[in-house]
Amino acid sequence: MEVVPSEEGCRITPRAGVVSVCSFTMTAGGEVDGMVLALLEQLGEVPLSGVRVDLLAEGPGGPKLLSSARSQEGGYYLF
């Protein structure tokens, strides 16, 4: 997991014997990727392009759609 600042940060210039404090909000960032494949009897695994892939979050009211992507040539998708 990568941690990235979610707002403008501050700059600290270290000086001997001086403690500096900088407060800012951090959020977790990252990527979700994969491939959409079909298993065919004659050909084995075949990548599929143009397939909609949904990224869902579980919540108290049921799943919530966070984002959608379409698989590219070769079946690859990325959020």
Partners of 45 in the β-ladder: 39
Confidence of residue 4 (pLDDT cuts 50, 70, 90): low
Determine the pLDDT at residue 17: 79
DSSP states of 10-69 as a string? ------TT--------EEEE---EEE-EEEETTTEEEE-SS-EEEEEE--TTS-EEEEEE
Q: How many domains does the chain have?
A: 1
pLDDT digits (tens, 9 = 90+) for 16-72: 777 766 666 666 778 899 999 999 999 999 999 999 999 999 989 999 999 999 999
Residue 77: count of CB within 10 angstroms of its CB: 19
Domain that holds residue 21: 2-78
Instruction: Indicate the pTM of the whole model.
Output: 0.59
The better pLDDT of the pair 9, 3 is held by: 9
